[in-house]
Structure 1
Amino acid sequence: MMLNSYAPNRFRRYAFAGLAIGLLTTLAMYAGDVFAGVSSIQSALGGATFTVSRVLATAASCLALLLAVAGFRHAKLSRQLAGERARAETLHHAAYHDSLTGLRNRHALSEDAAALSADEGAAGKQIAVLLFDLDRFKLINDTLGHAAGDEVLKVLGARIAEACQPDQLVYRLGGDEFVVMWKDAPCAAAIGRFCTRLSTAVFRPVDFGEGALDTSGSIGIALSDAGSFRLSDLLKRADLALYRAKETPGLSHSFFSEEMDSAYRIRRDLEADMRAGLSSGAFGVEYTPAYRSGMANPSMMRPSGFTARLTWHHPEHGIILPETFMPVAEESGLILMIGKWMFGEVLLAAQSWSKTTEVVVPVSPAQLSEPGFSDLVTSMLANTGIAPHRLVCDVCTSAIPESNVAALAAIARLRTAGVKIAVSEFSAGIAGLAMTRPHKVDRVRLDLAHIRAIAGEDRLANMLGLFLQLAGVVETAVTVTGVHTPDDLECARAAGATEVEGRIAGPALNKNEIAAMYSGTQERLAG
């Protein structure tokens, strides 16, 4: 027992045993030689140098030495083999597991799916793939750092694994995407109930630092067809279902349906066409004039500013309205490229306008959340020589929660630089008139058509007047948009509007028409 504890390796024990046997044998031979006395035998052998006992002792010692050397050599080889096995196991674990969360990775998912597909015992059983995606994960990384993002991923991964059963295998694909592959899954109703419980268990606040980070997300679900199972198809379908689920605010899940596939192809083609359009010059900008409403004759009204609106002339489908392609641009991230191009185009065009003419440019939440956006805008203003107070950024504040620190900080930096902030969607416009709001607003743009839809024609002027009075109390400028007819203009004037925007004095203009307008004005002044 003592030898086992001192030398746990069996080859090392053999070495020690060989040494002990050799030593004991040698000692025994010498002891026998002394006590038995073998001088007569030495004489009989003719005066040989070594006695028999010494020969035998020497042979035993050599044998013991050989055993010891072999034992120690085997012990060394055993240690080397153990180290190699440990390194191989470490590499194998790293190849099949995510280093951050410890969950199995995409490579493991592919092999597990292949094994499941080849398993005859699994034939005919339904496989479900559940694809998780965390909302606003990029925002967490950008605003709080990657340490916060890593902590959220580790906690959420552990929660998913804890909530799943042995037949529900959990994987992390990368980024903020997790997958559950459910072998022998039940009916869709049971899967839906499980997803509801799972979302509640997983998407809870995560402790970080001295506070907690709110989390939310969506789940896309794809079910295998009867008798067939291809992982790539299921992941694609789950991704389409996830896209649909993310359209619903809050925690949600969605099952794949065939109509999602056709919608995906349309969206994919539209995205590809937009990328090509940016390169080919298919995008343009049209400008809707805003006017001071004091002029009695609309034809004599001079623009006080312009609102830029993106246009797209598709080579096959003709003019495509922003309402059609902008949602796809925002979801795909193309809005960042398109928005940058639009700012450059608008500010270059504004160089030829009057130095007091403003230009309103729509800005999406994705642009405001992008690191460096405010610096990009102020740099473009400096390069084009446009005074910051001439630029009005029209932001969609209803899509910017107070937790979006990056977007609110970008708005604050823009205002500090002298850029004006406006809101134009109706609900945000009313919120912009409130005394309590997440950020300051320099202008509210109220759409006459929205107010008409709520108040009706009879009470239109009264409700518009109430909004304008509230704006006067909180000292916020208001532009009434959607003023297209003389009746619209009269209604806006009666309510007290000082600035209106619309087709009241003509259609939207392109940059060349506006340049010609101001060029003609300058020539008349010079003459």
Structure 2
Amino acid sequence: MKPKILLVNDHPPSLLALKALLVNAPQAAEYEVITATSGAEALRAVLDHHFAVIFLDVSMPGMDGFETAQTIHSHPRSASVPIIFITAYYADEMNRLRGYQHGAADYLISPVIPQILYSKLAVFIELAKKNLQLQYQKEELALMNRDLQVQQMRDLKRINAALETEILERRQAEARAHDLATRDPLTGLMNRRSLTERLEHAIAMANRYGQRLALLFLDLDRFKSINDSLGHDAGDELLRQVSERIGGAVRESDIVARLGGDEFVVLMEALPSYAAAAEVARKIIATIDVPFHLGSQTIKTSASVGISLFPQDGNTMQTLMRSADLAMYHAKQEQRGTIQFFHEDLNARMLERCRMEQELQQALDNDEFELYYQPKIEARTGRVAGVEALLRWHHPRLGLLSGGQFIPAASETGMLVSIGEWVIAAACAQARRWRDQGLPTPSIPIAVNVAIPQIYADLPDILHRELRRQQVPPSSIQLEITESLVITDTEKATSVLREISESGITIAIDDFGTGYSSLSILKTLPIDILKIDQSFVRDLGKNPSDTAIVAAIVNMARALALRVVAEGVETREQLAVLHDLGCDEHQGYYYSKPLPAGELVQTLMQRSLA
């Protein structure tokens, strides 16, 4: 955009001559010339254009140059435009003074000398060009500022949106973290941590206001067998349905939590009466007693409930939880699917269990255990076919204890695996000693009983380690596993037992007939021997049904190429029936009670000499 020049003169020849000078000037290409023949026309031009300079004739009819200049400079739009007056009155100093008073930038005398005109014009053109450049830069800067503001607004909106998203995600993450920390992920119920906090608060409030509260400890009956037989997905679905039913059976103000596994707890605050706790417990038992539908399966279970009351059963969170837990275990022992309130006898049992755990550990540390051995006799020849190792405990306070008197306590306290390892080590060491002593039948295997926890431990490694340590062959040891252990987890048991069997150790199913194993399971397992439970042997010759059961077991064993051992043989009549039925071996008091290793060797040697 070029700078503009305004020529104002009412005399056409003078206007034309002045315009010709400007148009033909050396720098004419740098500006644009606009003309006006009166002051009024000049004012209109000023309103329409921005001028670098105005050449204004002083003597014009109507509105002379001074009035025109005054009017132009009175308007904000044109107040700063430079005006050069042109006059033919050379010596009129008064007019020159008036021109300067009306804002004239300069004063030229007509006829105008071109060089003077061009030099003066050059100053204003250069100034206008710089003003135009500044204006352009100003507009560019304004545009840039506007674009920058727009971009900043966009960036700000984007940043705000990202920040809002981050805040939302963080809140969601915090909510998820809080749920994970305080909620059971499977059922959505409170977990142990949040229950503990709520129970501590409830106890504090009950103490302050003299209120009563109850804690209900629930455990599903036979949940593990359901989980193992139907799979963990079905087990999880059962737990979800159980949690919903419990929630529907309790009061709206009651708190339901899942501690883990199949254990649930209900906290009842502001209890109107202790009978209300029993009423809620009965509702829970009744609703869980209704069959559950898990996909295409319909299963039935029950719940055992233990109840502890505040303040009589404990005034702390730990004691109330412990009391309710003990009451629940008491319910399971007495009759599954029932309710039991805590009482002091349960507390005494708990203390006894803790004491027993300490004493069992001391028994291992102080070598208080001993293995007794009961022979297994081959029915056809009468020779000793093997011995069963039976654990005894020389208890410093209670005297000699059989396994039945402390093994259940060992199972409750988690000591079975450690004790089982001791039995295996002791049996392998005894096998080594008998070989070194020249026992009449040095190759007879020593049978050891395996508990359920051991099957999940490193049982094959433990066996092989002790056999290598004592340098005795695998045939020196025989494993006896209960039928219930096999059906608890058939797949796991089969895998572990196959590894043991392939090493040369024989395997027997103990107490056969008391469990529920199927023929297909027996065909799958790598077993060598079936031991008939003594409950079927006790009335042989007296009870035809027991005789028929034993006959069936013997025939089944024959079909599976397994040897059969009868336990609990105490009379000649029982032995005669077993012999007729084709039983391979017998074991019991008829031949010998369990004996310490030294007495057993003496008995065997005496009989071999007889």
TM, length-normalised to structure 2: 0.60
Aligned mates of 1:503, 1:511 — CA distance in 2: 17
Which stretches in structure 1 are left out of the alignment for 5+ residues?
1-31, 296-300
What is the aligned partner in structure 2 of residue 278 from structure 1?
Answer: 364
1:38 alignment partner, one of 67, 76, 80? 76
What is the aligned partner in structure 1 of residue 288 from structure 2?
Answer: 199
> How far does the alpha carbon of each residue in 1:32-90 deviate from its partner, in whole angstroms, 9 at most, with x for none?
9999952466589999x99xxxx9xx99x99xx99998998799689758855725545
2:514 is the alignment partner of 1:424: no
How far is the alpha carbon of 1:241 from its aligned partner? 1.9
Structural mapping, 1:172-183, within 5 Å: 172-183=258-269
The alignment's C-alpha RMSD in Å is 5.2
Structural mapping, 1:324-343, within 5 Å: 324-343=405-424
Aligned mates of 2:269, 2:176 — CA distance in 1: 28
Indicate the structure (1 or 2) with the bigger Cα radius of gyration.
2
Q: Is the 8 A contact 1:422 1:443 kept in 2?
A: yes
Aligned mates of 2:282, 2:511 — CA distance in 1: 40
2:534 is the alignment partner of 1:447: yes
Letter in 2 for 1:357: I
Letter in 2 for 1:311: R
2:276 is the alignment partner of 1:187: yes
| Closer/same/farther in 2, CA of residues 113 and 444 from structure 1, 3 Å limit | closer
2:449 is the alignment partner of 1:362: yes
| Closer/same/farther in 2, CA of residues 253 and 365 from structure 1, 3 Å limit | farther
How far is the alpha carbon of 1:121 from its aligned partner? 11
Higher relative CO (Cα under 8 Å, sequence separation at least 6) belongs to 1
> How far does the alpha carbon of each residue in 1:134-181 deviate from its partner, in whole angstroms, 9 at most, with x for none?
567677888998777666655654554466553222223344433222
Q: Is the 8 A contact 2:478 2:508 kept in 1?
A: yes
How many aligned residue pairs are there?
A: 469
Letter in 2 for 1:221: G
Structural mapping, 1:352-431, within 5 Å: 352=435, 354=441, 356-368=443-455, 370=456, 373=459, 376-377=462-463, 391-398=477-484, 401=487, 405-407=491-493, 410=496, 419-424=506-511, 427-428=513-514
How far is the alpha carbon of 1:235 from its aligned partner? 1.1
What is the aligned partner in structure 2 of residue 496 from structure 1?
Answer: 579
Percent of paired sites with the same residue: 23
Aligned mates of 1:494, 1:150 — CA distance in 2: 50
| Closer/same/farther in 2, CA of residues 420 and 77 from structure 1, 3 Å limit | closer
Aligned mates of 2:550, 2:229 — CA distance in 1: 37
Letter in 1 for 2:193: H
Which stretches in structure 2 are left out of the alignment for 5+ residues?
1-46, 51-73, 82-101, 106-130, 133-137
Aligned mates of 1:237, 1:438 — CA distance in 2: 41
Deviates more, 1:136-145 or 1:175-184: 136-145
| Closer/same/farther in 2, CA of residues 489 and 133 from structure 1, 3 Å limit | same
Aligned mates of 2:600, 2:383 — CA distance in 1: 11
Q: Is the 8 A contact 1:394 1:424 kept in 2?
A: no
Structural mapping, 1:66-465, within 5 Å: 80=163, 83=166, 86=171, 88-119=174-205, 123-134=209-220, 156-157=242-243, 160-161=246-247, 164-185=250-271, 187-200=276-289, 204=292, 206-207=294-295, 216=301, 218-225=303-310, 230-247=316-333, 251-292=337-378, 303-351=384-432, 352=435, 354=441, 356-368=443-455, 370=456, 373=459, 376-377=462-463, 391-398=477-484, 401=487, 405-407=491-493, 410=496, 419-424=506-511, 427-428=513-514, 436=519, 438-439=521-522, 442-447=529-534, 451-452=537-538, 454=539, 459-460=541-542
Q: Is the 8 A contact 2:446 2:478 kept in 1?
A: yes
Aligned mates of 2:222, 2:471 — CA distance in 1: 36
Secondary structure of the 2:419 match is helix
Aligned mates of 1:412, 1:205 — CA distance in 2: 36
| Closer/same/farther in 2, CA of residues 100 and 451 from structure 1, 3 Å limit | closer
Q: Is the 8 A contact 1:446 1:478 kept in 2?
A: no
How far is the alpha carbon of 1:212 from its aligned partner? 5.8
TM, length-normalised to structure 1: 0.68
Q: Is the 8 A contact 1:462 1:495 kept in 2?
A: no
Q: Is the 8 A contact 1:444 1:478 kept in 2?
A: yes
How far is the alpha carbon of 1:339 from its aligned partner? 1.7
How far is the alpha carbon of 1:309 from its aligned partner? 0.4
